Amino acid sequence: MSEDKLRLLFTLGEVAHAAPWPDYLAYGFTRSDVPFLIGLVGDQSLHGADVDSADVWVPLHAWRVLGQLGSEACVEPLLSLLDEGLVDDDWARDELPTVLGMVGEAAIDGLGRYFADGSRGEYSRAIAAEALKSVVERCPQSRARVLDIFSAYLASPDNSAAELNGLLLCCLIDLRAVESLDAVQQLFESGCVDVSYAGQFEEVKRAMTAPAVASHAVDKRLNEALDESSGETIYDEIDRYLKIYQRPTAVVNSSELDGFFAALGCTPEKIGAEAWLAAIWGGVDYLPQWSDKEEEQRFVSAVLVAYNRVVRSLNADTFAALYLARPQGAGTALVADGWCQGFLRGVNMWGALPRADALFLEKSLKPIRLFSTQIGRQSLAAMSAAEVASAQRSVEASVRAMYQHWLAPRDVARTPVLASPKTGRNDPCGCGSGRKFKKCCLH
């Protein structure tokens, strides 16, 4: 590798979550640089460098270059580095599936062998599964080969790897692998699935078989015309329990809950799950008297999946508010009121902010208050349908801005990036689940 290219990697420095990758190949990198790049990815002195230095970001830039080069030669070495500790790097767990997926079909055999190897670590194998899914997304013609690998695993799964199995189900859902449903059901029957990732079997089945729909929610109670007979969704399940145990202090429906979770995802400081689970009902004094433990667990599992989906979408910059819909003329109109009320409920859990942050928050909340206060609704009444739709879009834009505004303090509080394990790389997820951040809300 030339001195100029090496110097570049040491000067690119920090990257932002969800920001587009630079075109590294425009800097002159070629496949002849692969061995040196792999060495940089595995250099522990770089991973352990000062968190404020540009050096600590060199491994990330190096593996991104490897991805853009798409060289099959990098697959086995990168997987080997997972065994040597790279799996403990939060950024690596997030980006390596993409990097390995960029190699395309040439990576399938190596990834398949690694995923099937029971001697490998659980989360390392999960990265291999994600990478295989990434290959299919880039090369649809490879779907059958990849599903054969997953089917072979499901025929003899690792019953001690509940989280790996839960993460594999997420891949199968994304691939809409309906042909795997019988094997998936057997996996659930064996009791070796962590349901906080993809939900219970019925939820997985519905997610695999449901037709693709817009990201906005459709409330079937208000809009019978759009009632797809695809079975109960996770949001139907949440709504059912909210209705059974309804009380004036509680969140009303899954749309309001989605807004509540969006606020929790934007908060500068972590809020534990125990606190926000109680806040759904209005506080610990209003918790339901569940009919049995299983019923409580089903609700908690459902809201954890919903929470993780919101946080994952914020992190990936694919966030869209889960508004309801009501009939309007020959079509429908989205309803943002409840969602915005839920967001404000979540903001009320944030606590005090420095003056500058408080001013930023108030400015950001203006479009949200438009749909959640009496004065705001009076203003809406004077708007055209197009103006209301524009105001709804500005709600989502404000949420994204808040998420980005507090991204740095959130990273410091939850998982310092690319720090050594001794300085907090494996801090627990801010949602309070007890799992590591990259094994929870960023999956």
Average pLDDT over residues 213-237: 43
Instruction: Please write the tens of the pLDDT for every residue from 374-402.
Output: 788 888 888 887 888 888 888 999 999 99
Q: Which of 223-227, 263-267, 272-276, 400-404 has the lowest mean pLDDT?
A: 223-227
Length of the chain, in residues: 443
Residue after which a domain boundary falls, among 156, 180, 209: 209
Burial class from Cβ neighbours inside 10 Å (0-12, 13-18, 19+) for residue 7 reads exposed
Structurally, how many domains does the chain consist of? Answer: 2
Q: Are residues 263 and 157 in the same domain?
A: no
* Average pLDDT rounded to a whole number, residues 41-51: 89
Q: Is the pLDDT of residue 331 over 70?
A: no
Report the predicted TM-score, pTM, of the whole model to 2 decimal places: 0.54
Better pLDDT: 225 or 439: 439
Q: What is the pLDDT of residue 18?
A: 58
Residue 40 lies in a domain: yes
State the CATH number of the domain containing residue 335: 1.20.120.740
Tens digit of each residue's pLDDT (9 = 90 or more) over 271-295: 888 889 999 999 988 999 999 888 8
Q: Are residues 271 and 297 in the same domain?
A: yes
Q: Which of 209, 243, 277 is the last residue of a domain?
A: 209
Whether 348 and 231 map to the same domain: the answer is yes
Confidence grade of residue 435 (pLDDT, cut at 50, 70, 90): very low
Quick one: average pLDDT of 216-223? Answer: 32
85 in a structural domain:
yes
Residue 55 pLDDT: 92
Specify whether 111 is located in the same domain as 23. yes
Confidence (pLDDT) at 79 = 94
Residue 409 confidence (pLDDT): 63
Closest CA to 83 of 30, 118, 124: 124
**Same domain assignment for residues 71 and 150:** yes
Range of the domain at 146: 3-209
pLDDT in tens, 85-141: 888 888 888 889 999 999 999 999 999 999 999 999 899 999 999 999 999 988 889
Lowest mean pLDDT among 132-141, 191-200, 262-271, 396-405: 191-200
Q: Is 350 domain-assigned?
A: yes
pLDDT given for residue 114 in this prediction: 96
pLDDT at 178 over 80: yes
Q: Cα separation of 56 and 59, whole Å? A: 7
Residue 425 is assigned to a structural domain of this protein: yes
**Within a domain: residue 216?**
no
Q: Is the same domain home to 152 and 257?
A: no
Q: Are residues 159 and 80 in the same domain?
A: yes
**364 found inside a domain:** yes
Is the pLDDT at 218 greater than 70? The verdict is: no
Local confidence band at 262 (pLDDT 50, 70, 90 cut-offs):
very high
Mean pLDDT score of the chain, rounded to an integer?
A: 82
52 has a pLDDT exceeding 80: yes
Q: Which pLDDT value is given to residue 441? A: 40
Of 37-46, 216-225, 434-443, give the lowest mean pLDDT range: 216-225
State whether 307 and 253 are in the same domain.
yes
Burial of 296 per CB tally in 10 Å (0-12, 13-18, 19+): middle
Domain identity same for 163 and 249: no
What is the domain-level CATH number for residue 189? 1.25.10
364 and 235 in a single domain? The answer is yes
Please, which pLDDT band fits residue 255 given cuts at 50, 70 and 90?
very high
Same domain, yes or no: 80 and 193: yes
> Is the residue at 217 inside a domain?
no
Domain match, 394 and 418 both: yes
Residue scoring higher pLDDT (103 or 230): 103
pLDDT of 227 reads: 32
Residue 209: the pLDDT is 76
Has residue 65 been placed in a domain? Answer: yes
Q: Which of 156, 176, 209 is the last residue of a domain?
A: 209
